[in-house]
């Protein structure tokens, strides 16, 4: 009985996980068709591009938010500025460069990958690889077939808790 | 007068800490250490706690009665602040928060002493040997001593540079009130305490680590205690961090919960190393390996806690938390250096003695899964630390100011998080030492199928983005393994002790809370991961200026602007917009996002309509001051974000189950006693199946199996569960 | 892992970090290196605070030293530096030194009220939409730019200005443009008393 229940639960869980996109997307797909009472909104593509550029820039007076996220006044001003520049025909690269010229490197939320900045991109990956390498090397060089206490490698008895094993020994010997 | 009383309490606590340290070290190290000395140091813990309780009470009284002769009250108190926020302003500013920290520290110290109260009596025989007190008592003494040393630092800060009880003369009539950002939401009463209980809680494992290093003994009982204390601190830290995200979401108005702000990162770092320790501790428990590594982790966790506090409050990095005080920064750094250097020296001295034989025998074993888990978590720690400190590093070298923000951290966190998610499903199922191919196939068959089904369903619904797809598959995989583990356990209980499903579940939690509570924590992690993935992928927003009566469509919701209003409050002027929200044409609620105008700043407070399915998040961006005819509103749809908080609570619940004192189950029948551990029962039934299979393969005749001895009369050894 | 190697994990990780943090304590996080210094100050054409129909631009003051001060009525340090600005506006009577204020993220009415309360007659423009502030890389108030006769930004002060700072920057710019003041101004005189009593602080 439990195995069938198990299968049912597993499938149910899987289906629910998989269906999450539908549930979540429905909330956003409906945006395509505004209701009759809503005002027609400005161009969606422009919005998306503004958000994309703004999410690369750091709000100058906030803790750690992007210009896209922040509700602060200067961020709203910057978003409108980006929109105007896009409408005037500037490319995203030019717009980002303009903000770099005004504020300096700190306005970018992610450091440009050049010079010393490369360290922040390379060190984590390098660190991982080095640690992984050390770990694998140690495993390979020391790997021996030790054998479990009763002489058989991988014996299930060996997988028990120390408590369980003690209990088991006692039980085998006839105690309880 | 309150100032004097409060200050006297702090001094008393400081004296208590000094006695804890001196008495503890004497009892722990000296050959002449005696039970009396140990007892004195333990009582000093209680004394320090009572003294700090008095100090806290006095400060609260001073705050609530608006006694502006007390320096801290003069700094953050105000007659205009509502009572609730006055009460919690105790921890809103630097000196008060150190007072709070000190109180929690003294509380943990007293709790530790309390848990060891009957120790000497329960030892039975002689409490002293040739080298002084017996090891168990010396361990207690040393842990007490280390807590005392930490206490000396914090109480010393309170008695000196961070004294909140200074006297202000002439007494001002009123004060400026706490930072407006900290008055905006009742969650401010929960998030700092949770976080502090977590941070300070890591002092105890650290004390255990130092004591263990000094004594050169990190064996089973030490490990078990250290791990339990870590789980307690970890639980608070988890809920504090998620609570912080919730606060950020409800208060700051940008519609998100985590910005990879340096202060947020500072709280996340010790959480990562503590989690790593909780897992690698199991390897030490089972195989005796990784002792030095575990000690390093425990010490690092405490160092990261200190580092995080330093970072947050020293003013090195601009933040809403930074209340810079000139002298405290260097002093804190000095203490961190002292702790670090001392720990390094101890490790250097003891490392060789701690090394124990034991190898990783196979790649597919629980040991290697845990080690990979540690690698990922510690790598994550290092990466977040690097990203947080990188701007400072670049400025030191180049003089340039750069930012390392969310895009960078999201980029590095996603693969690590995903790998950890998958590992969460693999690790608990792998056996220790080695796994046979057959065993692996059997264990992973259903979870992998679940993952594939989930991925297929998601693809069918049109999802094409890689990370969400993988997260969903991983979630299904992990949930599949957890359901499987629970099912096996419940089924064994059913078979052997004739329990119902619910009864079986109860037994699992009661008898093996550590393991099954841990599974509950993993469920919580999966929920959190899914919530993050869903919100991040399908978040949607619109910003519009609306005239009265006009509606804005955002996702499946509609937002209608009704009117603007203003109201005068004692400490601020509030301008709000009333909006009606609809979903699918049906009226949902009336929401009132506000702009709180304090004398020195304006803070937008969002209004959130939450449901399990998604949140509608409204912020008032601008308003027409003269006629109130139009308002600019920003509406964000956050699908599934409520599950982020729910997942955090599940994690806390799981930790609670894991740490609940044993003895919860009823003393049972003979059958129960015979099979006290369900893990054992599961192993036995697997074991018998393996043996049967092997014997069948070798063509041997039937022989008595282990299962014949194990079960009560109701067991059926050979049947397939 | 070998315990002997593990003993180096903490030192390697912690010691450089401690060094970095110690250094970090010695500097202030609020200042930014300015990208505008040494580059031409962006021109603007913004409505005057006192008269909406009139608009002023940087080009109006070309040929002289311009001290461009970003401020707001809600900004507490701006109150502190206001006395110095008033003094600046009344000094250098025969030299081409012009103080210009830019109202940042604030309502005109608030700005007018502030100025009538605190005193001061120098030209002020309002930057609605904050476009000019963005061009100057302003991210908070007060900020003050010292612009030479050639239109190039010589110095940017983040935070309130002090009298010695004002004098040193203005004097050096006047000298650079060969526009020496006829009456030297004493940079060390700090006990300045305005004719009218200063209003009570908020």
Contact B403 A76 (CB under 8 A): no
Select from A134, A135, A147 the least CA-distant residue to B434.
Answer: A147
Please report whether residue C166 resides in a domain.
yes
Q: Which of A4, A11, A13, A161 to mutate to test the interface with B (most CBs of B within 10 A)?
A: A13
Q: Which of C139, C142, C156, C158 to mutate to test the interface with A (most CBs of A within 10 A)?
A: C139
* More confident position, C63 or C199: C63
Contact B389 C6 (CB under 8 A): no
> d(Cα B507, Cα B18) in Å, to the nearest integer?
45
B170 preceded by cis ω (within 30°)? yes
8 Å CB contact between B11 and B152: no
Q: What is the dihedral of CA B84, B85, B91, B94, to 10 degrees?
A: -160
* More confident position, C116 or B440: C116
The segment with the largest mean pLDDT, out of B243-252, B380-389, B673-682, C167-176, is B380-389
Model pTM? 0.84
Instruction: Count contacts between A and C (CB, < 8 Å).
Output: 46
Q: Answer whether B612 touches A (CB < 8 Å).
A: no
Residue C62 has pLDDT above 90, yes or no: no
Confidence class of residue B227 from pLDDT cuts 50, 70 and 90? very high
Contact A77 C137 (CB under 8 A): no
pLDDT the model gives residue A21: 67
Query: Cα–Cα–Cα angle for A46, A47, A51, nearest 5°?
Result: 115
Q: Which residues of C touch A134 (CB under 8 A)?
A: 1
Q: Which residues of B touch A14 (CB under 8 A)?
A: 449-454, 457, 476, 480
Confidence class of residue B530 from pLDDT cuts 50, 70 and 90? very high
Residue range B580-597: mean pLDDT, rounded:
89
Domain containing B145 equals 1-178
Confidence class of residue B696 from pLDDT cuts 50, 70 and 90? low
Paired residues of B637 in beta bridges: B540, B616
Please report whether residue C4 resides in a domain.
no
Tell me which residues of chain A, numbers 80 to 109, contact chain C at a CB-CB cutoff of 8 Å: 80-81, 99-104, 106
Task: Tell me which of A118-122, B482-486, C54-58, C137-141 is least confident.
Answer: C137-141
Min CA distance, B63 vs chain C (Å)? Answer: 24
Q: Which residues of C touch B310 (CB under 8 A)?
A: 21
Query: Cα–Cα–Cα angle for C1, C3, C5, nearest 5°?
Result: 80
Please report whether residue B626 resides in a domain.
yes
pLDDT the model gives residue B197: 96
Contact A101 C32 (CB under 8 A): no
Min CA distance, C134 vs chain A (Å)? Answer: 7
Min CA distance, B184 vs chain C (Å)? Answer: 20
The 8-class DSSP code of residue A40 comes to P
Q: Is B671 strand, coil or helix?
A: helix
R_g of chain A, CA atoms, integer Å: 30
Using the structure block, give the residue that is written with the tokens 């120098």. Answer: C122
Q: Which of A77, A80, A81, A108 to mutate to test the interface with C (most CBs of C within 10 A)?
A: A77
CATH number at residue B601: 2.60.98
Residue A32 has pLDDT above 60, yes or no: no
- B616, B644, B672: which is the final residue of a domain? B644
* More confident position, B326 or B343: B343
pLDDT the model gives residue B697: 62
Task: Tell me which of B196-205, B215-224, B235-244, B694-703 is least confident.
Answer: B694-703
Please tell me which residue of chain C has the smallest CA distance to B397.
C20
Residue range B423-435: mean pLDDT, rounded:
85
Please report whether residue C157 resides in a domain.
yes
User: Which of A80, A81, A102 is the closest to C137 by Cβ?
Assistant: A102
pLDDT the model gives residue B120: 77
Please report whether residue B189 resides in a domain.
no
Please tell me which residue of chain B has the smallest CA distance to C75.
B600
Farthest CA pair distance, chain C: 79
Confidence class of residue B688 from pLDDT cuts 50, 70 and 90? low
Residue range C92-97: mean pLDDT, rounded:
85
Residue B433 has pLDDT above 90, yes or no: no
> d(Cα B482, Cα B447) in Å, to the nearest integer?
9
* More confident position, B111 or B706: B111
pLDDT the model gives residue B499: 79
* More confident position, A172 or B408: B408
Residue B321 has pLDDT above 50, yes or no: no
Residue B706 has pLDDT above 60, yes or no: no
Q: Which residues of B touch A164 (CB under 8 A)?
A: 677, 679-680, 683
Please report whether residue C189 resides in a domain.
no
Residue range A26-38: mean pLDDT, rounded:
41
Torsion region of A143: left, alpha or beta (phi above 0 gives left; psi -120 to 50 gives alpha): beta
Using the structure block, give the residue that is written with the tokens 């199996």. Answer: B705
- B613, B644, B675: which is the final residue of a domain? B644
The total number of structural domains in chain B stands at: 2
> d(Cα B646, Cα B627) in Å, to the nearest integer?
42
Farthest CA pair distance, chain B: 97
Confidence class of residue A33 from pLDDT cuts 50, 70 and 90? very low
Q: Which residues of B touch A144 (CB under 8 A)?
A: 359, 361
Percent of chain B with pLDDT over 90: 40
Please tell me which residue of chain C has the smallest CA distance to B351.
C3
> d(Cα B130, Cα B134) in Å, to the nearest integer?
9
Q: Which of B290, B402, B638, B705 to mutate to test the interface with A (most CBs of A within 10 A)?
A: B402
Of chain A, the end-to-end C-alpha distance in Å amounts to 31
pLDDT the model gives residue B709: 34
Residue range B184-195: mean pLDDT, rounded:
83
> d(Cα C70, Cα C127) in Å, to the nearest integer?
10
Residue range B605-612: mean pLDDT, rounded:
89
pLDDT in tens, A90-141: 999 999 999 998 888 889 999 888 888 888 988 888 888 888 777 777 666 5
In order, the DSSP letters of chain C are --HHHHTTHHHHHHHHHHHHHHHHHTS-TT----SSTTSBPPP-EEEBSS-TT-EEEGGGGTTSEEEEEEE-TT-HHHHHHHHHHHHHHHS-TTS-EEEEEEEES--HHHHHHHHHHH---S-EEEETTSHHHHHTT--SS-EEEEE-TTSBEEEEEES---HHHHHHHHHHHHHHTT---SS---TT------SSPPPPP-
Question: Angle at which helices A2-29 and B437-460 pack, to 10 degrees?
Answer: 30
* More confident position, B312 or B522: B522
The segment with the largest mean pLDDT, out of A84-88, A172-176, C48-52, is A84-88
pLDDT the model gives residue B124: 66
Average per-residue pLDDT for chain A: 71
Q: Which residues of C touch B216 (CB under 8 A)?
A: none
Residue range B44-71: mean pLDDT, rounded:
93
Please report whether residue B423 resides in a domain.
no
Long-range contacts of B215-222 (CB under 8 A, 24+ apart): B215/B28, B215/B135, B215/B138, B215/B139, B215/B142, B216/B350, B216/B353, B216/B354, B217/B135, B217/B139, B218/B284, B218/B291, B218/B294, B218/B295, B218/B354, B220/B285, B221/B136, B222/B139
The total number of structural domains in chain C stands at: 1
- B644, B669, B692: which is the final residue of a domain? B644
Residue A61 has pLDDT above 90, yes or no: no
Paired residues of B70 in beta bridges: B167
C142 preceded by cis ω (within 30°)? yes
pLDDT the model gives residue B388: 92
Please report whether residue C53 resides in a domain.
yes
pLDDT the model gives residue A4: 63
Q: Is B277 strand, coil or helix?
A: helix
In order, the DSSP letters of B479-497 are HHHHHHHHHHHHHHHHHHH
Confidence class of residue C197 from pLDDT cuts 50, 70 and 90? very low
Residue range B378-400: mean pLDDT, rounded:
90
Of chain B, the end-to-end C-alpha distance in Å amounts to 72
Map out the domains of chain A with their CATH numbers. Answer: 44-107 (1.10.8.640)
Min CA distance, A60 vs chain C (Å)? Answer: 5
The 8-class DSSP code of residue B608 comes to E
Average per-residue pLDDT for chain B: 84
Q: Which tokens go with A46? A: 């422009």
Contact A77 C35 (CB under 8 A): no
Which DSSP helix (H) or strand (E) runs through B442?
Answer: helix B437-460
> Cα separations (Å) of C157 from B12, C46, C122, C160, C165?
48, 22, 19, 7, 9
Please report whether residue B37 resides in a domain.
yes
pLDDT in tens, A44-56: 778 888 988 999 9
> d(Cα B669, Cα B649) in Å, to the nearest integer?
35
Domain containing C105 equals 45-176
Confidence class of residue B232 from pLDDT cuts 50, 70 and 90? very high
Which DSSP helix (H) or strand (E) runs through B310?
Answer: helix B291-313
Please report whether residue B511 resides in a domain.
no
> d(Cα B53, Cα B71) in Å, to the nearest integer?
19
Neighbours of chain C (3+ CB pairs under 8 A): A, B
Q: Write out the residues of chain C at the interface with chain B, using a CB-CB cutoff of 8 A.
A: 1-4, 6-7, 9-11, 13-15, 17-18, 20-25, 27, 29-30, 32-33, 74, 76, 107, 202
Residue A173 has pLDDT above 80, yes or no: no
Task: Tell me which of A108-122, B229-243, B535-549, B589-603 is least confident.
Answer: B589-603
> d(Cα C164, Cα C174) in Å, to the nearest integer?
15
pLDDT in tens, B130-186: 777 888 889 999 999 999 999 999 999 999 888 999 888 888 888 887 777 777 777
Residue range B699-707: mean pLDDT, rounded:
45
> Cα separations (Å) of B528 from B132, B138, B525, B648?
50, 42, 5, 7
Please report whether residue C164 resides in a domain.
yes
> d(Cα B478, Cα B526) in Å, to the nearest integer?
8
Select from B426, B634, B692, B645 the least CA-distant residue to B527.
Answer: B645
Residue A37 has pLDDT above 60, yes or no: no
> d(Cα B485, Cα B479) in Å, to the nearest integer?
10
pLDDT in tens, C125-150: 999 888 999 999 887 888 999 998 88
Burial of B257 (0-12, 13-18, 19+ CB in 10 A): buried
CATH number at residue C62: 3.40.30.10
Min CA distance, A95 vs chain B (Å)? Answer: 18
Percent of chain B with pLDDT over 70: 89
């Amino acid at each position: 009985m439990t195995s069938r229940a198990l299968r049912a639960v597993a499938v149910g869980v899987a289906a629910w996980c998989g269906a999450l996109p539908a549930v979540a997307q429905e909330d956003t797909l409906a945006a395509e068709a505004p209701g009759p009472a809503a005002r027609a909104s400005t161009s969606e593509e422009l919005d998306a591009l503004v958000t994309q550029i703004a999410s690369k820039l750091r709000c100058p007076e906030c803790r750690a938010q992007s210009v896209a996220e922040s509700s602060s006044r200067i961020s709203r001003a910057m978003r409108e500025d980006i929109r105007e520049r896009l409408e005037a025909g500037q490319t995203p690269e030019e717009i980002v460069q303009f903000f770099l010229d005004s504020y300096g490197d700190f306005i970018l939320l992610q450091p440009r990958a050049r010079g010393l900045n490369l360290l922040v991109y390379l060190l984590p990956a390098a660190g991982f690889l080095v640690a992984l390498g050390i770990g694998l090397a140690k495993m390979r060089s020391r790997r021996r077939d030790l054998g479990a206490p009763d002489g058989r490698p991988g014996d299930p008895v060996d997988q028990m808790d120390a408590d369980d094993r003690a209990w088991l020994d006692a039980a085998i010997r006839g105690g309880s | 007068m309150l100032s004097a009383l409060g200050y006297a309490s702090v001094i008393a606590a400081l004296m208590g800490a000094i006695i804890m340290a001196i008495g503890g070290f004497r009892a722990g190290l000296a050959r002449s250490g005696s039970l009396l000395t140990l007892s004195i140091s333990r009582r000093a813990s209680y004394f320090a706690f009572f003294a700090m309780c008095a100090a806290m009470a006095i400060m609260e009284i001073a705050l609530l009665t608006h006694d502006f002769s007390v320096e801290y009250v003069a700094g953050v108190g105000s007659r205009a602040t509502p009572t609730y926020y006055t009460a919690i302003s105790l921890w809103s500013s630097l000196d008060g928060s150190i007072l709070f920290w000190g109180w929690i520290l003294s509380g943990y110290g007293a709790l530790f002493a309390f848990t060891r109260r009957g120790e000497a009596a329960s030892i039975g025989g002689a409490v002293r040997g040739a080298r002084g007190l017996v090891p168990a008592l010396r361990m207690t003494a040393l842990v007490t001593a280390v807590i005392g040393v930490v206490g000396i630092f914090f109480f010393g800060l309170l008695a000196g540079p961070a004294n909140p009880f200074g006297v202000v003369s002439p007494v001002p009539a009123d004060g400026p009130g706490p930072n407006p950002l900290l008055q905006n939401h009742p969650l401010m009463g929960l998030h700092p305490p949770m976080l502090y209980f977590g941070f300070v809680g890591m002092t105890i494992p650290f004390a255990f680590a130092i004591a263990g290093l000094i004594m050169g003994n990190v064996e089973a009982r030490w490990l078990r205690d250290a791990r339990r204390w870590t789980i307690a601190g970890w639980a608070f830290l988890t809920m504090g961090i998620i609570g912080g995200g919730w606060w950020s979401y409800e208060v700051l108005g940008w519609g998100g919960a985590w910005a990879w702000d340096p202060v947020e990162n500072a709280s996340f770092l010790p959480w990562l190393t503590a989690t790593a320790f909780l897992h690698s501790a199991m390897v030490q428990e089972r195989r005796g390996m990784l002792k030095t590594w575990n000690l390093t982790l425990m010490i690092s966790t405490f160092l990261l806690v200190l580092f995080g506090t330093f970072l947050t409050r020293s003013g090195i990095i601009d933040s809403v938390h930074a209340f810079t005080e000139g002298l405290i920064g260097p002093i804190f750094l000095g203490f961190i250096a002292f702790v670090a250097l001392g720990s390094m020296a101890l490790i250097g001295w003891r490392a060789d003695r701690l090394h124990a034989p034991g190898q990783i025998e196979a790649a597919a074993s629980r040991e290697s899964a845990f080690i990979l888990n540690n690698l990922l978590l510690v790598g994550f720690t290092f990466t977040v630390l690097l990203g947080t400190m990188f701007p400072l590093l670049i400025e030191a070298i180049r003089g340039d100011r750069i930012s390392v923000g969310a895009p960078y951290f999201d980029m590095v966190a996603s693969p690590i998080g995903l790998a950890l998610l998958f590992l969460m499903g693999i690790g608990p199922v792998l056996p220790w030492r080695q796994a046979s191919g057959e065993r692996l196939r059997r264990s992973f068959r259903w979870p992998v199928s679940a993952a594939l089904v989930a991925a297929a369903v998601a693809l069918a619904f049109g999802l094409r983005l890689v990370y969400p797809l993988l997260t969903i598959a991983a979630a299904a995989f992990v949930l599949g393994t957890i359901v499987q583990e629970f099912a096996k356990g419940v089924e064994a209980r059913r078979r052997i002790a004739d329990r119902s499903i619910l009864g079986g579940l109860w037994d699992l939690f009661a008898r093996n809370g550590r393991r099954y509570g841990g599974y509950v924590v993993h469920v919580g992690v999966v929920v959190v991961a899914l919530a993050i993935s869903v919100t991040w992928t399908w978040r949607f927003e619109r910003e519009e200026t609306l005239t009265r009566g006009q509606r804005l469509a955002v996702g499946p919701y509609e937002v209608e602007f009704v009117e603007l209003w203003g109201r005068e409050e004692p400490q601020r002027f509030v301008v709000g917009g009333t909006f009606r929200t609809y979903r699918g044409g049906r009226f949902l609620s009336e929401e009132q996002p506000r702009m709180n105008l304090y004398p020195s700043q304006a803070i937008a407070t969002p209004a959130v309509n939450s449901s399990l399915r998604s949140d509608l998040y409204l912020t008032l961006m601008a308003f027409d001051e003269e006629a109130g005819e139009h308002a600019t509103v920003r509406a964000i749809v956050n699908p599934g974000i409520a599950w982020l908080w729910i997942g955090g609570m599940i994690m806390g619940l799981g930790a609670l189950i894991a740490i609940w004192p044993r003895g919860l189950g009823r003393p049972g029948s003979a059958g129960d006693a015979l099979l006290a551990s369900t893990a054992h029962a599961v192993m036995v039934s697997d074991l018998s199946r393996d043996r049967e299979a092997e014997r069948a393969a070798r063509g041997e005749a039937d022989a008595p199996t282990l299962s014949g001895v194990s079960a009560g009369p109701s067991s059926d050894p050979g049947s397939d569960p | 892992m070998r315990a002997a190697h593990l003993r180096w994990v903490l030192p390697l990780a912690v010691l450089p970090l401690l060094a970095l943090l110690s250094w970090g304590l010695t500097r202030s996080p609020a200042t930014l290196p300015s990208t505008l210094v040494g580059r031409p100050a962006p021109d603007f054409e913004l409505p005057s605070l006192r008269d909406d129909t009139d608009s002023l631009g940087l080009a109006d003051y070309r040929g002289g030293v311009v001290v461009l001060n970003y401020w707001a009525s809600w900004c507490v340090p701006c109150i502190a530096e206001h006395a110095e600005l008033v003094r600046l506006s009344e000094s250098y009577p025969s030299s081409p030194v012009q103080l210009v204020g830019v109202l940042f993220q604030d309502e005109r009415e608030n700005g007018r009220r502030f100025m009538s309360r605190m005193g001061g007659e120098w030209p002020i423009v309002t930057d609605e939409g904050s476009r000019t502030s963005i061009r100057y890389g302003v991210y908070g108030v007060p900020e003050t730019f010292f612009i030479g006769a050639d239109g190039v930004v010589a110095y940017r002060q983040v935070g309130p200005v002090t009298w010695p700072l004002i004098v040193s920057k203005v004097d050096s710019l006047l000298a650079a443009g060969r526009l020496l003041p006829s009456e030297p101004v004493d940079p060390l005189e700090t006990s300045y008393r305005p004719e009218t009593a200063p209003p009570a602080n908020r």
